[in-house]
Chain A
Amino acid sequence: MTTATKPTTAIDLEHRLALYRSQVALRLFETRAYDLFLENLVKGTSHLSLGQEAIAAGVAAAMRETDWTFATYRGHAHTLARGVPMTPVLAELLGRANGLMAGKGGSMHLTSVEHGVMGSYAIIGAHLPIACGAAWSAQYRGTDQVAVCFFGDGTTNIGAFHEALNFAAIWKLPVVFICENNLWMEYTRTTEVTAVAHPAADRAGAYGLESILVDGNDADAVYDVAARAIARARAGEGPSLIEAETYRHGGHSRADPGKYRPDEEVAQWKAKDPVPRYRARLVELGVDEATLVAIESEVADEVEAATEAAKAGAIPGEDLLMKDVWANGGSSWRN
């Protein structure tokens, strides 16, 4: 088994600061999203990535602008990490007309084709085959784009996961599958219902792939392993399956307090919180406190501004209701 947990030294300071900024942005955004949910402004459901920011930030940093992200309902972080501004994402959560999809998708379906975010999918496993299709298209058209597909540990037990892995392997598709193993499905521990200890890494061999396990709470390590997998895909060497070990600080969704998890486990993982951990590393590398504080306050201002802009967004009008079922912009099914 390959483990790539050591921080690489190949990342220069400028990129490290960007990685820190990205993680802080995801942390503060998700915290705000939770607060707005408690204020009853985020309607419906939402699934936060608090505690898992290093994966979204680290992988996105290894991608090119022309690469594609396929995310799940737990997709705020992956969307933002690709450079989608906070305001439309927050406004989408609030169901406003200035939302990323004008309120038609909601928290679980964040999509920004312009930024290569090719959708957030809420049916477990469905997007793995879809990511294969985008990768097939890149392969067929001879572009060197790579599709990167995120999913949870529980997702490794659905058929689509296995169909997609085999499919990507036999066609040598430029796709990177990233399992964010946060140990829990909704309210059940994944190992209790899975035949192997490492739900993704232990299955890689079945598809002729290298078994890759990475510390998902270390943005540098994630960046490193993602960069290698993406380079491999871009070079035509086929897919990779990465298992990134991490933990969600909160519950599965909405107001779930996550009480089914033992306190010691939560405490143990909070001690490995990727954001302060990365901050400490930067301090160790000689970055001064003022630089870090500046980043943090800039991001906080950004979240504040996005909150105001999202709250000020118009309520979507009836004109949107019947729009865009079809490519011609309409919804008519008869003449």
Chain B
Amino acid sequence: MAQLTFREAIARGIAQEMRRDDSVIMLGEDVGAAGGVFKGTVGLLDEFGPVRVRDTPISEQAILGAAMGAAMTGLRPIAEIMFSDFFAVCWDIVVNEIAKSRYMTNGQMTFPLVIRSGNGGGLRFGAQHSQSVENWAMMIPGLKVVVPANATDVIGLMAASIRDDDPVIFLEAKSLYASKMDVPDGDIVDTLGSAKVLRSGADATIVSLGAMVPRALAAAEELGENGINCTVVDVRSLVPLDTSTILREVVATGRLFTVEENPRLCGWGGELSSIVSEEIFYDLDGPIVRITTPHIPLPAADALEDLAIPSVERIVTTIEKAMNS
């Protein structure tokens, strides 16, 4: 057991896989000597050298195109897009090329690659450096979407993503980079498409993702003190989506609350609500309630950003109101 930050867990997860598999290589802006702008790749250049850990120019299309070309010819590249907002300048490569080429070629090609990216708000960076883009990625057939919420999961899900033969968008919540936890020693390998039940309660089920997970947990603690006992589920990967765990937990309480950092429209909770209404509607005891960032660009000022992204307080009051009405 060692205390590890979320950001240190990224480097540890990557290093674990680079040690066992020479075909794993890495590229991105400032990922080498600088160790990443969020310090997620510190030490990798020293251990694996500049042939496997490559700094690139500011060329997001080239970074992801190179990852795709390397993947289709047998390597397992890990590409970094510094801020997930920057997906907008290379989205063609992700959506039109990486996601579709296996299907279009009738299965002739595979794309075992991981695209890591700093995602979401909390750092007061304003509208172009704070977006939660998990819903962009989730809506594209052919992409897997992984969003860990703690250091241990970062390592295990990173390993699973690297070993997976399909393209994975691996979103790292920027507001969690500094979070710490005790992480077991030795190799950790997790499974994509497995949600985790973090807490059980009889009254309501809160389903959350990434940076919203610790907030959902804290809210559940508070709600428990007020007599509302909540289950908290960490979705962990949007694609594949562990609907069997989620639906089971919603059936158990009869209430679903989603806590989403993405802006309201077409957030993952909307899809989940539709699955729940289609498949377990008669197990619900009340309406599904989505707690999301409103449908606005994110403001920079700390006071305003705090109002926008779901807070523990907003989760608590929203759930209390819904449960008591």
* A binding-site residues for B, Cβ under 8 Å: 68, 100-102, 104-105, 109, 111-114, 118-119, 121, 123, 126-138, 140-141, 147, 159-160, 163-164, 166-167, 170-171, 320, 323-329, 331-335
Contacts and interface: CB of A to CB of B under 8 A. Distances in A.
A166 to B, nearest CB: 6
A126 B109 contact: no
B240 A133 contact: no
Interface in B51-66: 51-52, 54, 56-57, 59, 61-66
B269 interface: no
Contact of A133 (B68, B104, B165, B244): B68
A332 B56 CA distance: 35
A132 B104 contact: no
Contact of B107 (A100, A127, A323, A334): A323
B102 interface: yes
B70 interface: yes
Contact of A101 (B74, B93, B106): B106
Nearest to A129: B65
Contacts of A100: 106
Interface residues of B, number: 51
B109 A109 contact: no
A325 to B, nearest CB: 5
B105 A133 contact: no
Nearest to A102: B106
Max chain B C-beta neighbours (<10 A), residue from A68, A119, A163: A163
Contacts of A118: 69, 72-73, 109
Contacts of A326: 102, 142, 165-166
A160 B75 contact: no
Contacts of A328: 165
A138 B73 contact: yes
A137 B65 contact: no
B69 A137 contact: yes
Max chain A C-beta neighbours (<10 A), residue from B69, B112, B239, B241: B69
B243 A136 contact: no
B189 interface: no
Interface string B164-181: 111000000000000000
A324 B107 contact: yes
B250 interface: no
A61 B68 CA distance: 26
Contact of A132 (B69, B105, B109, B242): B69
A325 B61 contact: no
Given A327-B112, A327-B166, A331-B141, A119 B65 contact: no
A137 B70 contact: yes
Contact of A123 (B71, B96, B142): B96
Contacts, number: 166
Contact of B65 (A160, A170, A327, A334): A160
A174 to B, nearest CB: 12
A173 B26 CA distance: 16
Contact of B25 (A101, A111, A140, A171): A140
A304 B121 CA distance: 62
Interface in B230-258: 239-244
Given A141-B74, A147-B69, A167-B59, A126 B105 contact: no
Contact of B70 (A109, A134, A332): A134
A252 B96 CA distance: 22
A130 B65 contact: yes
Given A130-B68, A136-B69, A105 B106 contact: yes
Nearest to A139: B51
B110 interface: yes
A119 B166 contact: no
Given A132-B62, A160-B65, A167-B57, A335 B166 contact: no
B273 interface: no
A129 B108 contact: no
B110 A327 contact: yes
A130 B69 contact: yes
Max chain A C-beta neighbours (<10 A), residue from B62, B241, B242: B62
Q: Which 7 A-B pairs have the closest CB atoms?
A: A133-B69, A129-B65, A327-B165, A324-B107, A133-B66, A163-B59, A134-B69
Nearest to B93: A126
Contacts of A133: 65-73, 77
B109 A119 contact: yes
Nearest to A124: B92
B151 to A, nearest CB: 26
Nearest to B112: A327
B51 A140 contact: yes
Given A101-B104, A104-B103, A126-B92, A132 B66 contact: yes
A129 B59 CA distance: 10
B57 to A, nearest CB: 6
A159 B54 CA distance: 22
Interface string B114-149: 000000000000000000000000000110000000
A335 B193 contact: yes
B240 A324 contact: no
A170 B243 CA distance: 46
Nearest to A323: B107
Contact of B93 (A102, A109, A129, A137): A129
B61 A329 contact: no
Nearest to B141: A325
B102 A167 contact: no
Contacts of B107: 323-324, 329
Contacts of B200: none
A326 B112 CA distance: 10
